[in-house]
Amino acid sequence: MKNAKDGMNRIQTILKILLVGICLSGNEAKSQQGLKIYISADMEGVVGAVTGDQLGPEGFEYSRFRTFMTAEVNSAIKAAKNAGASEILVSDSHGNGENLLIENLPSDIQLVRSWPRPLGMMQGIDETFDAAIFIGYHSSTTNTSGVRAHSFSSANLTAVILNGIPMPEAGVNAAIAGHFGVPVVMISGDDAIVKEAQDILGALEGAIVKEAYGFHSAKTIMPEKSYQLIEEKVSAALSRLETFEPYRLKLPVTVEISFKNYMPAEILSYLDEIERVDAHTIRFIGKDLPTVSKFLQFISHYSPGISP
């Protein structure tokens, strides 16, 4: 037994030396050093999440799902660091923006919390980042499949269309990243958003952590399995970072938004910059993606009664 084990150890050591040699001699390994990675984290696409019971402070499973969401983000962080990331910014981009368990995140990253913020789910991104990653994402309000399919506000919006393309949050956020020249390289969530994102953005890596049966039902893998899968997909994405292009929309950007209700479209159309397309839909032309993002944030957060 002992001799066999010694033999195995020797083989393993030789393999390790060979691997290190290959890594050090390759250009890829060199260029990966000092990567700066942006991670935008939502919750509807977290493993096992299917209803409001997991997604907000009033839900009986919410506190446990905060730990799953945090663990998914930590899996992405771990893989990013293994790929050479030395700077990581995470944005808590679901609900109240206060979901991730800050004490469970590594001490050497930074976190964006709460709202409102001009770049929304991409706050803090700029041209110094090398790649963006989306964790826990969900399909768009215009998609007929996907768990909790919505775009920015399930209560208020029935379509968000940029340059004629119905967008999930992943599409808008990828365009914001694209404005800064940053490609989105990986997304996790259900099968519906992974497909929708790949259709719009191209062949980014996708971690499918559940299969949607409907708005409030899915067949899900188990948490530990999702952490593994996310780690694998982030590693796969960052090992071929040079194959990704930033997602850039043609400027200026035509934004069409349909509201569930009639009144927002009526009142917004008082502004000269806004055209009423139909009873529930308005059109706005944004000179660039930060302008589009601020407009989306404005319609999501403004009401005359807001305080302080």
The residue ranges that bind Zn ion (CB under 5 A) are 42-44, 94
C-alpha to C-alpha distance for 96 and 301, rounded to whole angstroms: 12
Cβ neighbour number for residue 57 with a 10 Å cutoff: 11
Q: Could you tell me the smallest distance in angstroms from the CB atom of residue 45 to Zn ion?
A: 8
Nearer to Zn ion, 43 or 184 (CB): 43
Residue of minimal Cβ distance to Zn ion = 94
Nearer to Zn ion, 44 or 191 (CB): 44
Distance CA 191, CA 212 (A): 7
Min. distance of Cβ 169 from Zn ion in angstroms?
8
Task: Please say which residue, 97 or 166, places its beta carbon nearer to Zn ion.
Answer: 97
**Rounded least distance, CB 140 to Zn ion, Å:** 12
Identity of the amino acid at 231: E
CB of 56 to Zn ion, least distance (A): 9
145: phi then psi, degrees, rounded to nearest 5: -130, 165
The DSSP bridge pattern shows strands 85-92 and 110-112 to be parallel
Alpha-carbon dihedral 257, 259, 263, 268, rounded to 10 degrees: -20
| CB closer to Zn ion out of 154 and 281 | 154
Bridge partners for 253 per DSSP: 286
Token pair 């000269």 is found at 272
Q: Which is nearer to Zn ion, 68 or 244 (CB)?
A: 68
CA 298 and chain centroid, separation: 21
Helices (H), 202-262: 223-238
> Least CB distance from residue 64 to Zn ion, whole Å?
17
